[in-house]
Structure 1
Amino acid sequence: MHMGALAGVPKKGLHSLLLLVSWQLWLERNARTFQRKERPAHVLMLQIKEEDRAWEMAGAKHLAGLLGEI
């Protein structure tokens, strides 16, 4: 909620970022539940960043810079 209230944070970008993170968490949950595979948190974060870059390259310009150096 705080990010959405900040000036200069595009709502469209924030919504896309929330979808991206939710999707990655869902995939991680399924892997843990059904395949008994578990990734460390830092690996999951790297996957989220990689997916963010892929979405940006595919045309989601409103995502640019939202993850920054996280």
Structure 2
Amino acid sequence: MEQYTFEEFNTCAANGDLIVARTFGTDIHPMIRTIPVEWNVTIGYGLFYPINPSEAVRLFVDAMTAVR
């Protein structure tokens, strides 16, 4: 899973940018303020894995496929 880095938060703070993300901690960066929102929005999620995954990954994907 890709994660935000401190460098990305620094860039956001320096440029006055906005990051829209799932809720995470409130003390992420000293120059960034978090504001929770309640929007009627859904976000699709998915799994990314190699074409030829390891046995453990293949079993996990099979299990996830079975419950969807």
Higher RCO (CA-CA < 8 Å; seq separation 6+): 1
TM-score by length of structure 1 reads 0.27
